[in-house]
């Protein structure tokens, strides 16, 4: 891909560069560039992680460009039951190092069993625990961003996961939000509990569950957590749309690294920008439409491999990415519509060939927010969930039932 140098410093002039941050250390695991691909449901499967990783490593000449690429959220119960889809979701490429898996669960025993499976069968080098998901089907069962409100339940899940992973040298981290809403903030308490339970790092998305992805991420909350938790790494997440945003977050919050989610949708080369930026470089990828088309095709090919040669399933998966890849480019409605209906790799090839390949990077129209932001809403919670920070009564029954009703990955 084409790199544009935005300063007199040449991309190979390493003597002129000063890294912005030291490598991120998660127990025995070292991440040379302190950047994490956020787990995103239906997005961060093995194919997308591979694409992002290749861009990042190309910018850092291999090892120096290594970031942490986390799987999409895996349901602990489904993993323990070894459902076919959950087993697919925890697969990694041979070159993927470290192998990172994010788990979701609401029962300490089930989460422990899932972690035990991962570490005893050597399926992961890092485990992340999801306490940030704001999706109603998760929070109404007491999971995701709703769960830290129940402090002892949260402690039990985190401590249990650490106890299973620690003997195998596998670090456990926690990803969370500020809380349920502005009246029910949990992140400072949860950060302390996670630290005291032995996690290797905590990551904070600077929004509440009620915000979903709307409004602006509260970086001041991330800074406050960094000031509160000083003995393990704290990572910041939210509104990182460019390498410059990542550097700005570090400068304003003091975090030890950043977590990038929606900013890389349709822009896997963002990791090349981030690797360059954190190394003190100025090179940024500004692809032509032909180069974007090539990345889109490579993504599709990797999805075919992920789905064991099933082109139709791979093409159904790539459809949701197409608008993100073409954001800001002069691809007409008809082309976009046809791309959204592709069923085979030959369809992808035919339509990419019809794009105006010489169209340059459009600049501002292709930058900034991407993905659905949604709007603020009341969080779906189990009945009586906010009455107490202890797990009792009907809330306890709903949580127990949630683990029994899981199907799929």
Active site residues: 133
Structure tokens at 283: 């090179």
For residue 196, count other CB atoms closer than 10 A to its CB.
Answer: 11
Structure tokens at 275: 């690797």
Cα separation, 33 vs 65, in Å, equals: 6
Quick one: CA dihedral 28, 31, 35, 40, positive or negative? negative
Q: Chain-centre distance of CA 229, in angstroms?
A: 22
Cα separation, 24 vs 29, in Å, equals: 8
For residue 358, count other CB atoms closer than 10 A to its CB.
Answer: 8
């Amino acid at each position: 891909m084409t790199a544009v140098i935005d300063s007199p410093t040449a991309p190979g002039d390493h003597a002129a560069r000063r890294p912005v941050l030291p490598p991120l250390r998660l127990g025995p695991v070292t991440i040379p560039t302190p950047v994490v691909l956020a787990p995103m449901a239906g997005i961060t499967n093995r194919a997308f992680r591979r694409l992002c990783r290749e861009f990042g490593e190309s910018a850092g000449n291999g090892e120096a460009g290594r970031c942490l690429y986390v799987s999409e959220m895996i349901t602990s119960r489904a993993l323990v039951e070894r459902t076919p889809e959950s087993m697919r979701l925890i697969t990694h490429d041979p070159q993927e190092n470290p192998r990172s898996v994010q788990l979701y669960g609401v029962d300490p025993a089930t989460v422990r069993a899932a972690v035990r499976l991962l570490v005893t069968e050597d399926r992961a080098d890092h485990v992340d625990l999801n306490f940030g998901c704001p999706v109603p089907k998760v929070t109404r069962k007491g999971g995701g961003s709703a769960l830290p409100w129940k402090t002892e339940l949260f402690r039990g899940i985190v401590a249990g996961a650490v106890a299973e992973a620690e003997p195998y040298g596998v670090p456990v981290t926690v990803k969370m939000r500020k809380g349920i809403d502005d009246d029910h903030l949990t992140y400072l308490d949860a950060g302390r509990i996670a630290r005291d339970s032995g996690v290797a790092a905590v990551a904070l998305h600077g929004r509440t569950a009620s915000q979903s992805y709307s409004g602006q991420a509260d970086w001041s909350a991330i800074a406050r957590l960094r000031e509160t938790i000083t003995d393990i790494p704290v990572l910041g997440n939210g509104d990182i749309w460019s390498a410059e945003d990542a550097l700005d977050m570090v400068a304003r919050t003091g975090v030890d690294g950043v977590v990038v989610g929606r900013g890389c949708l349709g822009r896997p080369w963002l990791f090349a920008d981030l690797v360059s930026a954190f190394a003190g470089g100025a090179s940024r990828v500004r692809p032509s439409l032909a180069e974007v088309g090539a990345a889109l095709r490579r993504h599709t090919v990797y999805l075919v491999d992920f789905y064991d040669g099933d082109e139709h399933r791979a093409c159904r998966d790539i459809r949701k990415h197409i608008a993100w890849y073409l954001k800001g480019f002069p691809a007409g409605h008809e082309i976009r519509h046809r791309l959204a209906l592709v069923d085979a790799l030959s369809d992808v090839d035919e339509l990419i060939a019809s794009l105006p390949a010489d169209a340059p990077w459009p600049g501002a129209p292709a930058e900034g927010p991407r993905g659905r932001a949604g709007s603020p809403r009341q969080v779906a919670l189990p009945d009586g969930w906010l009455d107490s920070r202890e797990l009792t009564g009907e809330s306890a029954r709903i949580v127990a039932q949630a683990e029994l009703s899981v199907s799929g990955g």
